């Protein structure tokens, strides 16, 4: 069964460093997302991406964050200068043409900022 894959599964980084989280969405999907979950809290929407541009972003997704689809398969989330409060599990997700109806999540990348 097709799945969303994410790398790395776990990354530890120093405060102020740049981090890139990578994702390979399901191959025939058109819409891509990043969500995050701080330990013990709800899953929160960060950004949605369609047709090579951001279609919606949350208040969390400030200028420190950016997304990119550098080729036909990868989808990345970059955090330019990490802060302690960026420590969280980051989930990539994708959906097909019926977006908003069926969204599939990856296993997550656990980011620890020290």
Partner 1 sequence: TQLLEQSPQFLSIQEGENLTVYCNSSSVFSSLQWYRQEPGEGPVLLVTVVTGGEVKKLKRLTFQFGDARKDSSLHITAAQPGDTGLYLCAGAPSSNTGKLIFGQGTTLQVKP
73: contact with partner 1 by CB under 8 A: no
Binding-site string for partner 1 from residue 21 to residue 50, where x marks contact by CB under 8 A and - marks none = ----------x-x-x------xxxx--x--
27, exposed or middle or buried, with CB in 10 Å at 0-12, 13-18, 19+?
Answer: exposed
Q: How is residue 108 annotated by DSSP? A: -
8: contact with partner 1 by CB under 8 A: no
Q: Which is nearer to partner 1, 24 or 110 (CB)?
A: 110
For residue 81, the SS3 value is coil
Return the structure tokens found at 11: 């990354």
**Residues of this chain that bind partner 1 (CB under 8 A):** 4, 31, 33, 35, 42-45, 48, 55-56, 58, 89, 91, 93, 95, 99-108, 110
């Amino acid at each position: 069964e097709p799945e969303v894959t994410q790398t790395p599964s776990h990354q530890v980084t120093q405060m102020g460093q740049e981090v890139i989280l990578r994702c390979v969405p399901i191959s025939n999907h058109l819409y891509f997302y990043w969500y995050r979950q701080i330990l013990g809290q709800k899953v929160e929407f960060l950004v949605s991406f369609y047709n090579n541009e951001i279609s919606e972003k949350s208040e969390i997704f400030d200028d420190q964050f950016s997304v990119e689809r550098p080729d036909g398969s990868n989808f990345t989330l970059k955090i330019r200068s990490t802060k302690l409060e960026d420590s969280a599990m980051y989930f990539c997700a994708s959906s097909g043409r019926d977006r908003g109806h069926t969204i599939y999540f990856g296993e997550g990348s656990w980011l620890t900022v020290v």
